[in-house]
Chain A
Amino acid sequence: MKQAVQINIGGRYFHIDEDAYLLLKQYLDALKDHFIKDKESGIEIIEDIEHRMAELLESRLSNIKQVITLEDANETIKILGNIEDFEFAEEKEESQKEHKSTYYAKEGRRLYRDPDNSYLAGVSAGLGAYFNIDPLWPRLVFIALSFAHGFGLILYIILWIIVPKARTTAQKLQMKGEPVTVQNIEKSISDEYQKVKTNIHKMRKSDRYQRTEGVFVDILNGIGLLLKAFLKLIISIIGIAFIVVGIILIVGIGIAFFTSFNLFGAMHWPSFNFPGLSDIFIEFNNISLIAICIIILISVPIISLIYAGIKLIFNIKSRNRFLRATAITAWILALIFLITLVFVEGENMAFEASGSSEYSIKNNNYSTLYIDKKDEYDIINSITVYSIFDFDIYYNRHYKTILGKPKLNIVKGREDHPQLVIKKYARNVSLNYAGNYLDELEYNWEQQDSILYFDQFFTIDKDKKWRFPKVELTLKIPENTIIYISRGMEDILHDIDNIHFYREDDMTGQRWIMTNRGLKLFKTKITE
């Protein structure tokens, strides 16, 4: 008994065995694919051939034979001929255009998406088939390119849209560059048929085996099969988990690279090529090398994870030693390279120099000394902040200047008038350079009557990189001096001793008096 289907060929109605139907369908699909090149006449040719096919098939039927068999289909195709024969008839046109010299030139390879070996949409598998390489390589290229502003991802989607999926056997053969002949189509069909057949055969065999060995073996086998299925399920779940985690990591890191997603602690990565970073920290254009190293360091393990997941799910046993060795080598090289680069950059910060200067503050017998900030918000507006260790770095994109925050401490001084000590620190490749760097650190303050105005930022010379510069301000005031700390100063106040253990935020907008043990709130009525 065989399953039969009903079809309509050339306006005629046939009952046909399923295998015969599949063969005819593949054949006509291959023809369609071949003739579709010149649209209108192509359709006409197909229609004519279908008509003839119907005639031929009908001639094989009789009162006692109502169904088209595989043999009928085969005979009919033999009469009609395969694509190579059709090419013979078309050849005149082609040779006029000097496309092909002989009619048995092989079908050119065509790019299709390969649904059989696909991971996402089969683009990479199709490219692999087209270039006769492992689809892993196009996959890697896509992933790598995805880090370049998402280029790979966009390219993939475009290819997904424009490259057709290989649906028919003919297209699958074309994808692999094998000529589309009926023999080849039959071969690939019979390959699949054989696969199914042997599977069924195996099943039957094991059935019989179970029956002869009795119930006990049945149960054991059943448990074994269950265990096997269970194990397979678990392995698949692990595999899926690997893939999911890998994809999440890729997507997450992708997002982190493309947006200023806050991934690495407080450090912002404004975009892939870290313009802020390269402007602020790193010399010699090492930045792209560092970026490449980081990408390799991150992506190799993730891709390995996904690859392992795929292998687990699809039960792929093959071990590609070359691939593994390449991946491991690339990873280690990237690590070594990155460490070297970091050391090279670190050299630039090897020595620290410091220098301090002291300024006297004229005390014209004001009852209260005011400390206030200079308003510089117009500069602050265009600033990106990086925080590294306890350093806050501000970068003005517009003026391309690097700014740092000074730290202001207020202590008891020994002199009878207030003093301001400004101490600067900086690192560089040598003490000498660090000293030069110090000189370029610019910090401004000024006194107007009883008010001390402090800049909120110190600036680093335009062409210099950030080398751990620090500016520490120490305001020394004699005992019993009254000071008023204006609001807004809390940003630069740092660790000021006061007997109330107030935090910096709470110290502003208050009047303080210097005592033996530090600042103390000055509680008398404010007469202003």
Chain B
Amino acid sequence: MNLENATAQMRKGVLEFCILSILLKGDAYASDIIKKLKESKLIVVEGTLYPLLTRQKNAGLLSYRWEESTQGPPRKYYALTDKGREFLKELNSSWQELMEAVNSINNI
């Protein structure tokens, strides 16, 4: 068990959580999501996002549609599905529980 591995595991769970959270605020296309994740320093390289998006989509958490763009070819816009919303809700509550647990342990 090394640090890099441990944080990588954590980071990925959080990353999936955050993708869903970003989409809760509104539909977005991949570059928007990347921008927000990069701002919050959750991802270093962009390629990481695509397998995650595809998997979430395959799991029925996301859907996408093609939208015309003023610059260049059409873009893929991602949106949360009902199942995704449900899933995010559960993630949220377990995230809260985890936060409280970690905080309470750290504060002892």
Q: Which of B15, B31, B55 has a CB less than 8 Å from the CB of A52?
A: B31
| Known contacts A48-B76, A54-B72: A85-B48 contact under CB 8 Å | yes
Q: Which of A48, A78, A91 has a CB less than 8 Å from the CB of B50?
A: A48
| Known contacts A79-B45, A103-B8: A90-B51 contact under CB 8 Å | yes
Residues of A contacting B48 in the complex (Cβ-Cβ under 8 angstroms):
81, 85-86, 88-89
Residue of B nearest to A87 (CB): B51
| Known contacts A41-B54, A41-B55, A45-B50: A81-B45 contact under CB 8 Å | yes
Cβ B30 vs Cβ A80 within 8 A: no
Shortest Cβ gap from B65 to chain A (Å):
14
Cβ A89 vs Cβ B49 within 8 A: yes
| Known contacts A48-B30, A89-B52: A78-B76 contact under CB 8 Å | no
Cβ B72 vs Cβ A81 within 8 A: no
| Known contacts A49-B50, A52-B50, A79-B46: A41-B30 contact under CB 8 Å | no
Cβ-based interface call for B70 (8 A): no
Interface flags, B61-94, vs A, CB<8A=1, else 0: 0000000000011011000000000000000000
Interface residues of A in 43-58 (CB under 8 A from B): 44-45, 48-49, 51-52, 54-55, 58
Cβ B46 vs Cβ A80 within 8 A: yes
Shortest Cβ gap from A33 to chain B (Å):
14
Interface flags, A64-89, vs B, CB<8A=1, else 0: 00000000000000111110011011
Residue of B nearest to A34 (CB): B51
Number of interface residues of B (CB under 8 A): 24
Number of interface residues of A (CB under 8 A): 30
Cβ-based interface call for A265 (8 A): no
Interface flags, B35-53, vs A, CB<8A=1, else 0: 0000000001111111111
Cβ A52 vs Cβ B46 within 8 A: yes
Cβ A80 vs Cβ B72 within 8 A: no
Cβ-based interface call for A192 (8 A): no
Cβ A85 vs Cβ B54 within 8 A: no
Residues of A contacting B58 in the complex (Cβ-Cβ under 8 angstroms):
41
Q: Which of A11, A48, A78, A86 has a CB less than 8 Å from the CB of B53?
A: A48
Q: Which of B5, B15, B44, B45 has a CB less than 8 Å from the CB of A102?
A: B5
Cβ-based interface call for A232 (8 A): no
Cβ A78 vs Cβ B45 within 8 A: yes
Interface flags, A17-57, vs B, CB<8A=1, else 0: 00000000000000100010000010011001101101100
Cβ B53 vs Cβ A85 within 8 A: no
Task: Among B44, B50, B58, B73, find the residue whose CB has the most chain A CB atoms closer than 10 A.
Answer: B50
Binding site for B on A (CB under 8 A): 10-12, 31, 35, 41, 44-45, 48-49, 51-52, 54-55, 58, 78-82, 85-86, 88-93, 102-103
Given contacts A48-B76, A80-B46, 18 further A-B contacts (CB under 8 A): A10-B73, A35-B51, A45-B50, A45-B51, A52-B46, A54-B72, A78-B45, A79-B46, A82-B47, A86-B47, A86-B48, A86-B51, A88-B48, A89-B47, A89-B51, A90-B51, A91-B8, A93-B55
Top 7 nearest A-B pairs (CB, nearest first) are A81-B45, A81-B47, A11-B73, A80-B47, A89-B51, A48-B50, A89-B48
